[in-house]
Amino acid sequence: MKPKKSDIQPINIGIVSLGCSKNLSDMEAVLAELENVQVASPADSDIIFLNTCGFLKAARDEVFENIEKYSDKKIIVIGCLVSLMKEDLFEKHPQIAAIVNGSNYHNINNIFHRVIRGEKVYAVSPEPFSFEKLNGKSLLTPRSYAYVKIAEGCNHKCTYCIIPYLKGKFRSRTMEDILKEIKDLIKLGIKEVILVSQDCGYYGTDIYGEKKLYELLQKINALKGDFWIRVHYVYPEKVDEKLLEAMASCEKVCKYLDMPLQHGDKDVLRRMLRFSEPEKILGKLETIRKIMPEMTFRSGFIVGFPGETEKNFKNLLSFIKKIEFDHVGVFTFSREKLAPSYNYPNQVTQKVKNERKEKLMLVQQKIALKKNKSLIGKTFKVLIEKYNPQKQTYIGRSMRSSPGIDGDVIIKSMRQIKLYNFYQVYITDAGEYDLFGELV
């Protein structure tokens, strides 16, 4: 007689998820496909899912560090780096039991049980032409927020980036599928839905024939419930009138734009094959601020791109000072063999890259402190996410901050506050990253 499913001891699996929020969203979908498993720490697990990032050399190095770290386990490797992995890795690293790319996630449960039986599985197929639909999502984020992937792949040809090579062409997920997932998340009590893809502003062009992010936001906004909608990664040239109207009119949409600009010098941007020009970007941000004065801006910049002169770098610093972003991430150029810029002349030394990164961050810290201090005396709706019993402080975020990358709102309170709920908070002080406040 077959044992009932409930009588079968669940298999402990460990999860090591590297890279970005899009990767984490994939891991949640993979986890939902698995039967009879329970998540444990990697040390206490029989099998480890290693979700890889292949974007930069440092990320790839981290993958193999983890492969060696868990050499006494069976490892199923998934994620972006898998596109570059060959079957000979089974021989080089016997602990690797399976290598699986996104095209085969729909079959991950079968692959998982083949691994349990002692098989080695290499399941790497070409990226599909349409978005691969999976059956669900098992959250790995805290109960306050969740990432929802709305598209996969990228059509840009940026000369420093290998994402199109790893992930294939841009392909949108249907609105119906996205809305179903978000409805389920709202039922679970999720208070913030974060839309992610390589370029959210391009959403819909392949399956609907035009940019449809604005319509997607409107439809999510119409769903019942008290929650926020945040959008990550919208290139400036994709921010049009329809999108701005939707962001301004939809009360649940965070007035927050994460626009990856990469540089502020027109010559460097041209060599990067980025379409935006500094003056046009400045003009667009001025327009956005007129429509939505409360808009928070985040961006990322690369220093040390091949051929970046001192003059180019000074132009970048000047651009940062003019634009006054609320949040900025700074990265040193990483030379990637599959990217065209690998062979560009006049490579910048690591020493110069590091010095430029530090200079830019010092400039941005002053801007961030000034902008944060301007918020003292204002009241914000804050999502409470943590409690520090030693300091008797609660930690949350306003619409101005995305989890894990931006600053927090820290609240000193003797009152008991429910986690994963919204509260009105009056800002009393500010630092370079965090705000400090009290309950209203």
Q: Where are the domains of the chain?
A: 10-123, 145-373, 379-439
Rounded CA-CA distance 265/251 in Å is: 35
Report the pLDDT value the prediction gives residue 30, as an integer from 0 to 100.
95
Is residue 101 within 8 A of residue 124, CB to CB? The reply is: yes
Report the pLDDT value the prediction gives residue 191, as an integer from 0 to 100.
98
Cα first-last separation, the chain: 62
Strands 192-196 and 145-149: parallel
Rounded CA-CA distance 151/164 in Å is: 13
Mean pLDDT over residues 365-384, rounded?
A: 97
Superfamily of domain 10-123: Response regulator (3.40.50.2300)
In whole numbers, what is the pLDDT of the chain averaged over residues? 94
Instruction: Give tens-digit pLDDT for 176-206.
Output: 999 999 999 999 999 999 999 999 999 999 9
Is residue 179 within 8 A of residue 3, CB to CB? The reply is: no
Is residue 183 within 8 A of residue 412, CB to CB? The reply is: no
3-class DSSP assignment, residue 175: helix
Instruction: Give tens-digit pLDDT for 210-222.
Output: 999 999 999 999 9
Query: What element of type H or E holds 424?
Result: strand 422-430
Q: Give the residue, 38 or 9, on which the prediction is more confident.
A: 38
Mean pLDDT over residues 134-156, rounded?
A: 92
Strands 296-303 and 327-332: parallel
Is residue 316 within 8 A of residue 360, CB to CB? The reply is: yes
**Sequence-ordered alpha helix ranges (H) in 203-254:** 213-221, 241-249
State the CB neighbour count (10 A cutoff) for residue 290: 9
Rounded CA-CA distance 44/38 in Å is: 11
| Confidence tier at 55 by pLDDT (50, 70, 90) | confident
Is 2 a residue whose pLDDT tops 70?
no
Is 50 a residue whose pLDDT tops 50?
yes
Q: Give the residue, 395 or 413, on which the prediction is more confident.
A: 395
Could you tell me the two tokens for 359? 């200079």
**What's phi and psi for 349, nearest 5 deg?**
-70, 155
Report the pLDDT value the prediction gives residue 7, as an integer from 0 to 100.
59
Instruction: Give tens-digit pLDDT for 82-124.
Output: 999 999 999 999 999 999 999 999 999 999 999 999 999 999 9
Report the pLDDT value the prediction gives residue 268, as an integer from 0 to 100.
98
Mean pLDDT over residues 249-273, rounded?
A: 97
Tally of residues, the chain = 440
Report the pLDDT value the prediction gives residue 335, as an integer from 0 to 100.
94
The CATH number of 145-373 is 3.80.30.20
Fold entry, domain 379-439: OB fold (Dihydrolipoamide Acetyltransferase, E2P) (2.40.50)
Report the pLDDT value the prediction gives residue 4, as an integer from 0 to 100.
46
Cα 407 from chain centroid? Answer: 16
| Residue 253, amino acid | V
Report the pLDDT value the prediction gives residue 130, as an integer from 0 to 100.
87
| Residue 210, amino acid | E
200 CB-near residues (< 8 Å, 6+ apart): 150, 151, 213, 231, 232, 233, 234, 238
- Looking at the chain, the whole-number percentage of residues with pLDDT higher than 70 is 98
Is 249 a residue whose pLDDT tops 90?
yes
Is 1 a residue whose pLDDT tops 50?
no
Mean pLDDT over residues 221-248, rounded?
A: 96
Q: Are domains 10-123 and 379-439 of this chain identical in fold?
A: no
Closest CA to 242 of 210, 220, 281: 210
Rounded CA-CA distance 78/26 in Å is: 9
Rounded CA-CA distance 377/345 in Å is: 51
Mean pLDDT over residues 343-368, rounded?
A: 97
Is 3 a residue whose pLDDT tops 50?
no
Is 38 a residue whose pLDDT tops 80?
yes
Which of 6-15, 152-161, 251-260, 261-270 is least confident?
6-15
Rounded CA-CA distance 375/372 in Å is: 5
State the CB neighbour count (10 A cutoff) for residue 226: 10
Which of 125-129, 303-307, 328-332 is least confident?
125-129
